[in-house]
Structure 1
Amino acid sequence: MRRDNLKYLLISQCLSVAVSTGCMAQSPPNTASSETRMPAVRLPNDGDAPAVVTDFSRLVNEEGNAVVHIDATAARPAAALTPLWPPAGSEDAPLPRLFGPFSAGAPGITDMPSQRGGSGFIVGADGDILTDSSVIAGATRVTVTLTDARQFKATVVGNDPASGVALLKIPAANLPTVSIGSLSGTKAGQWVASIGSPHGLNDTVTAGIISNMSRPLPGESYVPLIQTDMTENAGDAGSPVFSLNGNVIGMEMPVSKEIGDVGGLAFALPIDEAMKVAQQLRLHHEAEHGRLGITIEDVSWPLAQSFGLKKPEGALVSSVDPRGPAATSGLRPGDVIVKINGAAVPDSTQLPLTVADLTPGTSVRLAYWRDNAMHAATVTLGRLNAAADEPAAIAQATAPDGLTVRGLTAQERRDAGVESGVRVEKSTGAAALAGVEPGDIILMVDSTHVSSPAQFRQKAGNSGNAVALLVQRNGQRMFVSIDIG
């Protein structure tokens, strides 16, 4: 009995202790007070990025020397043409008054050329420079200033407004170059920095984060752009956008006013696409892009349900150019393109880029959804930026003097009271300096009447260093001499 009583006593004491301590194993007492205990600290891993970046000086020191400032001189239309006839005379002479509609100012006085500034970055040690297309558009002279203050007159190797890329060349060697990166592994939320010349203030550094990796902006570029929260100012166009490892991942691209107010937003062309276009410009002085001739939009859940799709996917055709390649192949508004050449089209952002990267004349296979069933079509791509909204008879031609002309429609011939001629669509370079403006009608090149763009191109190209044009504007005619030497 004693043994049993002793066993019960021990069990009772154990239960008492268990209730008071929660049956938890007790560690040895800690003599330090709770106020002096230090929290546990996790040591950072090598791959951890800092929460806030406060120092971009190393990036600027290593890459800043390859960033340049660009000054572009664009000719404004002259206030007075330089005629071959009549000769200069007094202000009271009847002939100058007759030709007054060609001049908005005093006779013989012309406007000063306009200046435009931007940025660029050196991609070749022998003088290749990338910049934004808008920086040098219509420029008659381009000057590049390096960080060491040396200045060079640049040659425009090629300009591709469709993508927004221009390639320049300066006569220099052993230049510092930027490190070209890739978008592979780049994500929204990561830090980026840009070096440019806002308002002509060279070597200006701006930093921010990537807001979106693929932002389509119709009318700006066929390429989905990188969106950041960096400050965008005049003169930033063409600036390189760097990742924190010092590689260029994009080129800043200004947004046109038609998009609206985008204050607090900045956009950059992905460097992968910029370098592909630059290679074409380097080899051929122009870039060719395929064109379907359609307008597309994303497929939302309600639209997917109304079209009988199981989920939102593909690119919805909202309009079709009636003379474009897609219309010829039978596509129409309401079709949803889900595959191109066997590859899935998850949404509308990548289809324009895929098509534009193909050469005009390439045949592509499209799979599209219509009337609750899949269909297939083969489309021969046209050329992006071709004048698809004009009849074939109104083709365009460009001459070395800087004039781009097209044929006249029957209505334009009747309105102008002429039997033949070509209409000026664009005037740059020597032609703009001489005062020829878009909308002018060119009737003769030297002593030959012209009736087609091809004829104008051939005649102007064979005129040597100077060409005389008979121009009609507002019903008045006069000869204009253009020096294209």
Structure 2
Amino acid sequence: MLNRLFYGFFLVLLAVNPGYAQLPDFTEMVKTNGDAVVNISTTQKSPDPQAGADPQQMPQDMPPEMEEFFRHFFQGPGRGFTPRETNSLGSGFVISRDGYILTNHHVVNNASEIVVKLKDRRELIAKLIGSDESTDVALLKVEAKDLPVVEIGVPDQLQVGEWVLAIGTPFGFDQSVTAGIVSAKGRSLPDGNYVPFIQTDVAINPGNSGGPLFNMQGKVVGINSQIYSRSGGYMGLSFAIPIDVAMNVVEQIKTKGKVSRGWLGVQIQDVTRQLAESFGMDRPHGALVSKVIPGGPAEKAGIQIGDIIVEFNGQVIETSGELPPRVGMTPVDEKAKVKIIRQGDKQDVTVKIGLLPAQQNIAAAGPSTASETAVNRLGLAVADLTAEQRQQLQVEKNGVLVQKVGKGIALDAGIQPGDVILRIQNTVVRDAAEFNSIVAKLPVEKSIAVLVQRNGSPVFLAFKIEK
């Protein structure tokens, strides 16, 4: 009886609103764009099996919450013995009639041969024009004329909840079509500092890498690049590189032969609730500056450690992950307007964007030989840094080395042995004696920000001394 009533209600609903049960029709979109989507197969030289671990294996030091992030999801060798040459599959799409093709960097990385298979079954040898590991974008070229091409869309106009469609070659099955919705925009992922990813629930599997993501107007808005998975297969979370980011890379590769990125010269982190309280903010937002690179653009503009960047060129910065893509896409030597919060007050700063330098290896800390000081009210034993330790830890001046962390406030805040405490709130810590003097005067029931340097990288932590 209840089933009949429900069915009757459903029929009435359809009669009142015929569009209620309608779903988008992708057939014309696939007919129009399918010819421009290609299969990419590569022959790759793998490392000597005696030389190290399988390159497909995830890093052992990956944060626990990201251990299931399976980034490179095209076909490749399994665990154990690694052959000298492997074949992998991926996808791509034609962006110009004379043969330029976009795909992922990881699809063609270290390839000795790249073969592009068109929908009409032609197979063409492709030349790698250039690629960029940071954005996972690669530009290929085949010798052909009058190829079918995709139309480029505008990712900024995408709305969360909007339908999108992917065409690719999962597991080698050519011209496979899957659809879903935009789950989120501007996602920041590991090893993706310069990409504000589009998150979708489109079914993406090994072999979809490098394929196009279309909006409902049949325009490419992204390149399918990564998935989040426990099994290596689709589990409902897929990530695409916004096409404007990819086309910026393409333009630089074509005109300059390399990719240059804007550089601010700071290290940043998210603002937690406790840090927001300690800096006098009404809510957590922005990118907290934990380090200012000497001689960099930010230092020259007057940006300081402890500043919180809340706007960049008029664009609001809610999380620290939103800042690097915007800075990276800003032309070198262009002046950018930056809004900061400093000790509770908003200020405007103009920064001349620099060129991102090559990353440098950071030396690890060695064991300490300095004598310890007494444990203080935070449960910490700290010591002055020796000249050797300063060189190892890349600490030019000031700071104290954490020797022991007892149970209590500091341990709960995340402070660890081997950390170098550089400042508490806005006060620079010069030596162990001054550190203990500062700690003795800290107020209770108030969030306190502490800047520590760990493995060469500074980070703000926060604690509160209870009564």
CA contact (8 A) 1:208 1:230 kept: yes
Q: Deviations over 1:400-429 (max 9, x none)?
A: xxxxxxxxxxxxxxxxxxxxxxxxxxxxxx
Which residue is equivalent to 2:171? 199
Matches within 5 A, 1:304-323: 304-320=276-292
Q: Give the aligned length.
A: 322
Matches within 5 A, 1:13-32: none
Q: Distance in 1 between matches of 2:25 and 2:249?
A: 33
* Structure 1 residues 380 and 40: CA distance shift in structure 2, 3 A: closer
* Structure 1 residues 357 and 40: CA distance shift in structure 2, 3 A: closer
* Structure 1 residues 342 and 266: CA distance shift in structure 2, 3 A: closer
CA contact (8 A) 1:294 1:320 kept: yes
Amino acid in structure 2 at the alignment position of 1:285: G
Which residue is equivalent to 1:151? 123
RMSD: 3.5
1:279 aligns with 2:248: no
Matches within 5 A, 1:33-432: 41-42=15-16, 53=23, 55-77=25-47, 112-254=84-226, 263-320=235-292, 325-326=297-298, 331-341=303-313, 344-375=316-347, 379-384=351-356, 386-389=358-361
* Structure 1 residues 381 and 390: CA distance shift in structure 2, 3 A: farther
Q: Distance in 1 between matches of 2:125 and 2:248?
A: 25
* Structure 1 residues 219 and 40: CA distance shift in structure 2, 3 A: closer
Q: Distance in 2 between matches of 1:251 and 1:375?
A: 38
Q: Helix, strand or coil for the counterpart of 2:281?
A: coil
Pick the structure with greater CA Rg.
Answer: 1
Q: Helix, strand or coil for the counterpart of 1:125?
A: coil
Q: TM-score, normalised by structure 2?
A: 0.60
Q: Which range moves more in the overlay, 167-176 or 377-386?
A: 377-386
Q: Distance in 2 between matches of 1:324 and 1:115?
A: 44
Q: Distance in 2 between matches of 1:347 and 1:78?
A: 41
Q: Distance in 1 between matches of 2:279 and 2:107?
A: 44
Deviation at 1:363, TM superposition (A): 4.6
Deviation at 1:278, TM superposition (A): 1.6
* Structure 1 residues 311 and 261: CA distance shift in structure 2, 3 A: farther
Q: Deviations over 1:349-400 (max 9, x none)?
A: 4322221112334454433222233456554444336124479xxxxxxxxx
Deviation at 1:135, TM superposition (A): 1.0
Deviation at 1:146, TM superposition (A): 0.5
Q: Helix, strand or coil for the counterpart of 2:325?
A: helix
* Structure 1 residues 325 and 62: CA distance shift in structure 2, 3 A: same
CA contact (8 A) 1:335 1:369 kept: yes
Amino acid in structure 1 at the alignment position of 2:45: A
Q: Distance in 1 between matches of 2:32 and 2:228?
A: 32
Deviation at 1:333, TM superposition (A): 4.4
* Structure 1 residues 58 and 341: CA distance shift in structure 2, 3 A: closer
* Structure 1 residues 114 and 319: CA distance shift in structure 2, 3 A: farther
Q: Distance in 2 between matches of 1:281 and 1:257?
A: 32
CA contact (8 A) 2:93 2:149 kept: yes
Amino acid in structure 2 at the alignment position of 1:294: V
CA contact (8 A) 2:227 2:237 kept: no
Deviation at 1:165, TM superposition (A): 1.5
Q: Distance in 1 between matches of 2:114 and 2:204?
A: 22
* Structure 1 residues 65 and 371: CA distance shift in structure 2, 3 A: same
CA contact (8 A) 2:203 2:234 kept: no
State the identity as a percent.
39
* Structure 1 residues 132 and 226: CA distance shift in structure 2, 3 A: same
Which residue is equivalent to 2:460? none
Which residue is equivalent to 2:367? none
Query: Which structure has more RCO (C-alpha within 8 Å, separation ≥ 6)?
Result: 1
